[in-house]
Chains A and B, each alone.
Chain A
Amino acid sequence: MRTGSMPILHRLKHGLVILVALVAASVASFAQTADEAFTRLAADSYSDTSRAIELLVSTAHPNAALIVEALSDGRLLSGPGGVAVKTSSGAFVDARTGQPLAVAPEGLKAVRLNNAVRRAVQAALGGLGLLNPDPAKRTAAAEAVFKSRDAGLLPIVETAIGKEADPRALAALRQAQAAILIAKPDAQPLDRLAAIEVLHERGDQDALATLRALPGDATPALKEAQAKAITAIEGRLKLWAVAQNLWYGLSLGSVLLLAAIGLAITFGVMGVINMAHGEMVMLGAYTTFVVQELIRTNAPWLFDWSLAIALPAAFIVAGAIGIAIERGVIRFLYGRPLETLLATWGISLILQQAVRTAFGPTNREVGAPSFMSGAFELGGLAITYNRLWIIVFAALVFAALLAILKLTPMGLQMRAVTQNRRMASAMGIRTGRIDALTFGLGSGVAGLAGVALSQIDNVSPNLGQSYIIDSFMVVVFGGVGNLWGTLVGAMTLGVANKLLEPYAGAVLGKIALLVCIILFIQKRPRGLFALKGRAVEA
């Protein structure tokens, strides 16, 4: 036999056998087919075993699942006396009736398997899944058939379609049928046309692959339909890919927003570049780690709440350290922004080294609570829960800060100091106190960002360093003293970064973005949303 034609011939035979068997089952008696199957099983030759399985499955014998599973585990025994299944507990069951056997039958041997039989078993298990009472399992089985495109399963698939009531399972079954029809060499052109339509509707990567499996000898009309469907699906997939990148961009943007918003506050109100801001983020992440460790050792049942507990803790830790830095160092350097930059850089080195000394230089493991792990699909989008929650969290933090700035007396005073420090002071605002509180708030928000970032990044002493330059870019791009500017800046940079990535690669995209920002600063030296008035010259 020529090897090239073997698979097709084999499939042909395979399918024909089942067809014949099906016809036989409907016309002649059900028992007769079953008899044949059991005789073949008892014969214990590989080809007979395979055929027997096909017969059992295609006739949907009540014990088919039991038998096939037993066979795959090597628990199916056969001999001249009949066929029996040894259950996992060691008891024996008659394969034909499913009745327990009181006495272990004599002269039975385990039915042997070779690779061909194993394949048949696998296919049979897939086929049996199609008849499973659980709709979710039926859908999964149909999906497996869709991928395998095993022509031998077509009759079962069609039987299953006839019986199916669940709409999702029905759709999956129809897609499985379509996939088989596309690949099956002797399928009718009309059936195939319908199949192409079904695959077109499905419209994902797998559908594309299946469509491409259409044999080369198909009619021109079919080929045209296939080409049309492929173009349509590719277009749709491209759209989804853009949407996915947009989603990644939003996710990155919200991370940038979290990292940069505290910086924007301190920079806006105090004109101070806080190079230690990244370390506040890092401290927030380490606070999360410590909280989780405490919970693990003391109250494991609280673990799902660990992030909620870590949030205030991180805010307080980072905020307190921020206030300490402001009172201890920065307030002596007002009016000298460049010196502040250097001093805070020194503080960042000290904090990094302190954390390295305390926790070691390696990454620390921060766990994800159950509600943050996993993913779901939305259309063609894959959305992980942790990214989703971080976007939600960033939005909440943004809204809270906006509320603080607009609705509280402290926010009012902060805005006054931002706009005109001396006039605010003359109106009785204690600018020193506002500075300390602002710095504490900005640092505390960085701590909150650290809790969120601990979920998606490595918690190491260098965590802050990797965000600090990006945060600066967001702040100078968005402009100072305006939270909306920071929001727009973060989202623009995030989305632009992710949209550039597929074309330019991650590194080149980032370089391009940095160059764009450098050029942008030339055009608008004070950022997108520049502050107007006296503060500009301050």
Chain B
Amino acid sequence: MITRFLLQNMDKRGGIFLAILLGLAVLVPLSNLFLPASSPFHVPTSTMSLWGKYLCYALLAVSLDLVWGYCGILSLGHGAFFALGGYAMGLYLMRQIGSRGVYGNPILPDFMVFLNWQELPWYWWGFSSFPFAMLMVLAVPGLLAFVFGWFAFRSRVTGVYLSIITQALTYALLLAFFRNDMGFGGNNGLTDFKDILGFNIQAQTTRAALFSMTCVMLAAGFLIARGIVVSKLGKVVIAIRDAESRTRFLGYRVDRFKLFVFTVSACMAGVAGALYVPQVGIINPSEFAPANSIETVIWVAVGGRGSLVGAALGAVVVNWAKTVFTSGFMAPYWLFALGGLFVVVTLFLPKGILGTAEALWARRRKSAPTPAAEPAPAE
């Protein structure tokens, strides 16, 4: 039944996307582990980690697209859920260090020893257990989203007001996590991880496994989001996006639908963060920066708002471009390019690259229905 829920009405585009993801999940680690470095098909570990990072961003973008593209809630604070999930994972990884820290304290992480803390704060309890940590990865962002959304949607805070208070939310968390007293490593955040589930986090095999896991989770996130969107519930959600008042007048409890979608989306963002942290090896408060959350919005906009594949694609494309731009002589111009992207996409590509490409393809097929036409770049 669940499979049917997830796979109902799977279109060609979604199918290709899933196939590519699963292909990546299998082929990239195989190539990385078993092909010799000289082979043209060998994927270096650094590239694999980099793309793993992109895919985490893609999952974040999918989660944001679920609320923005389908429910019309422009959250400028989704980075907060991402970072909270990351911190939950970070706490687990910190506890796995054990006595291998610089100060060799078996219980306390280095920064607590440094700050003369005597015992582990209560909110660190349980994080040495992986299942508990994973539960928290979902629960902490989900709970925050639930409470925040419950207040906000019930009192009908909409539009830019909602955007601004989500921004205030992530800004408040940014300030809070910068404080040393919070017990989350302050400015430096959590880093120097050693093990995950008993495997060395730096090992090539672990990195390959993390990459596969990210692909699988992105696929799962995509399927869940799609399942929601194409279901009857999804129809109401889209109706809310297009005409909130009318939907309310038709008798739907708009706030509950919004709350559901918002909470699910926050959990997905949390998972993305949790996958991100072991691959980049650090989590610090700058992940809460409002600018990060706004950048996530542009990934979705570039890829195509209201298209889950588009959101994932946008995240990968923009971040890939960022890597290319910021590593070369063009580094000073990256912000020009990013800023220009915001302007150009909102002005000229309101449906993003995927939507625009599809529109072009449709027009071409209509004007020249010959078999010579190229297939649309559906990736």
Contact = CB atoms under 8 A, between A and B. Distances in A.
B175 A525 contact: no
A518 interface: yes
B347 A469 contact: no
Interface residues of B, number: 44
A341 interface: yes
Interface stretch (B163-171, B188-196, B199-207): B163-171
B155 A511 contact: no
A472 B165 CA distance: 9
A514 B160 contact: no
A348 B297 CA distance: 15
Interface string A488-527: 0000000000000000000110110011011101110110
B304 to A, nearest CB: 14
A352 B338 CA distance: 12
B290 A518 contact: no
A80 interface: no
A169 to B, nearest CB: 50
B339 A346 contact: yes
Interface string B292-315: 001001100100000000000000
A333 B346 contact: yes
Interface string A338-373: 111111011111111110110000000000000000
B157 A522 contact: yes
B165 A518 contact: yes
Nearest to A465: B291
Contacts of A332: 347
Contacts of B340: 346, 350
A329 interface: yes
B301 A473 contact: no
A337 interface: yes
A472 B167 CA distance: 10
B interface, over-half SS: helix
Contact of A342 (B152, B161, B346): B346
Interface string B24-56: 000000000000000000000000000000000
B332 A514 contact: no
A65 to B, nearest CB: 56
B159 A346 contact: no
Contacts of A343: 342-343, 346-347
A522 B152 contact: yes
B357 interface: no
A331 to B, nearest CB: 11
B329 interface: no
A514 B168 contact: yes
Given A339-B346, A346-B342, A472 B335 contact: no
A510 B168 CA distance: 11
Interface string B129-165: 0000000000000000000100110111111110111
A346 B339 CA distance: 4
A466 to B, nearest CB: 11
Contacts of B159: 337-338
A153 interface: no
A214 to B, nearest CB: 38
A198 interface: no
A350 B335 contact: yes
Contacts of A337: 159-160
A350 B339 contact: yes
Interface in B162-189: 163-165, 167-169, 171-172, 175-176, 178-179
A354 B336 CA distance: 8
Contacts of B178: 507
A130 to B, nearest CB: 51
A507 B343 contact: no
Contacts of B175: 507, 510-511, 514
A353 B175 CA distance: 25
A508 B342 contact: no
7 contacts: A338-B163, A343-B343, A349-B336, A351-B339, A354-B336, A469-B168, A518-B151
List 3 tightest A-B contacts by C-beta distance, closest first: A346-B342, A349-B339, A350-B339
Interface of B: 74, 148, 151-152, 154-161, 163-165, 167-169, 171-172, 175-176, 178-179, 290-291, 294, 297-298, 301, 332-333, 335-336, 338-343, 345-347, 350
Interface of A: 271, 273, 275, 329, 332-333, 337-343, 345-354, 356-357, 465, 469, 472-473, 476, 507-508, 510-511, 514-515, 517-519, 521-523, 525-526
Given A353-B333, A514-B172, 16 more contacts: A275-B294, A333-B346, A341-B74, A346-B340, A349-B336, A349-B339, A350-B343, A353-B336, A354-B336, A356-B335, A476-B165, A507-B176, A514-B171, A518-B151, A523-B155, A525-B158
